[in-house]
Amino acid sequence: MSDTTSPRVALVTGGSGGIGHAVVERLARDGFAVAVHYAGNKDRADDLVEAITADGGRAIAVGGDVADEQDMAAAFDAVEAAFGGIDVLVNTAGMMRLGPLVELDLDLLDRMHRTNIRGTFVVDQLAARRLRSGGAIINFSTSVTRAQFPNYGAYVASKAAVEAITLILARELRGRDITVNAVAPGPTATPLFLDGKDEATIDHLAKAVPLERLGRPEDIAESVAFLAGPARWVNGQVLFTNGGLA
């Protein structure tokens, strides 16, 4: 069991932008020492670390390709060296590219699935080996696995794989006192979601939600904070955080 007198430690992949940024800020406010992972935007990760430390928190930035096991092993090593161990992995890193199945470029399909499927598998495998007792693994799916919007086929296929990894790993970690869950956001106002969509499309998706707005990154961070902290009896689940989207 981890030392309860020390802060819990979280590694957030994709922590330099979008939902990951909000998750890092929320966990830092909750008292976690946080590792902000980035793939290409080191400056943004460093700025976030600087803001957290200026506010009295503990944070470091770690880089690497989530689908590269050597990169991510080095990232895990850096977090353990800085903070003494890891309690929570939040895997927000991902790609979303949309288009009809009949037209989608297969190279784009391969790149997206490498990040979303292999990347999740790599970081979950490392987390399963390294997280301390009492820990939590939190992956990211999408509510479109249920909403089934056209043009999302390749992306949803990758996230369905993430759900499968999540639900099976939860059962494989029997006896370890480590929970494994996924958060499935609905339409959320992030650069990843907004990129390439016109105003009419964005308004339509907002109105599809009974609360009649897009989600905010902070809304999604609330669910992550729940799973990372008090939700010790929630395990092997997909938490649809979507304002009631069918």
Q: For residue 221, is it within any domain?
A: yes
Task: Tell whether the torsion through CA atoms of 188, 191, 197 and 200 is positive or negative.
Answer: positive
Dihedral, CA of residue 62, residue 33, residue 240 and residue 205, to nearest 10:
-60
| E-state strands within the chain | 9-13, 33-38, 59-63, 88-91, 136-140, 179-185, 238-241
Residue 195 in any domain: the answer is no
pLDDT by residue (tens digit) across 38-51? 998 899 999 999 99
The structure tokens 């003494």 sit at 84
Percent of the chain past pLDDT 70, that is, above it, reads 97
200 found inside a domain: no
Q: Whole-structure pTM over 0.85, yes or no?
A: yes
Q: What is the pLDDT of residues 70-127, one digit of tens each?
A: 999 999 999 999 999 999 999 999 999 999 999 999 999 999 999 999 999 999 999 9
Q: Which stretch of 36-40, 193-197, 205-209 has the lowest confidence by average pLDDT?
A: 193-197
Domain assignment present for residue 164? The answer is yes
Contact between 142 and 188 (Cβ < 8 Å): no
Look up the domain containing 85 and give its range.
9-187+217-241
Q: How many domains does the chain have?
A: 1
Q: Tell me whether residue 194 is in a domain.
A: no
What six digits make up the tokens of 29? 């406010």
Residue bearing tokens 């390709």: 65
Q: Residue 60: its pLDDT value, please?
A: 98
Q: What is the pLDDT of residues 124-144, one digit of tens each?
A: 999 999 999 999 999 999 999
52 occurs within a structural domain: yes
The answer to whether position 209 is within a domain reads no
CATH number at 178 reads 3.40.50.720
Residue 1 near residue 178, CB atoms below 8 Å: no
Among 128, 14, 12, 121, CA closest to 68: 121
Residue 168, in any domain of the structure: yes
Catalytic residue among 155, 186, 227, 241: 155
Catalytic status, residue 152: no
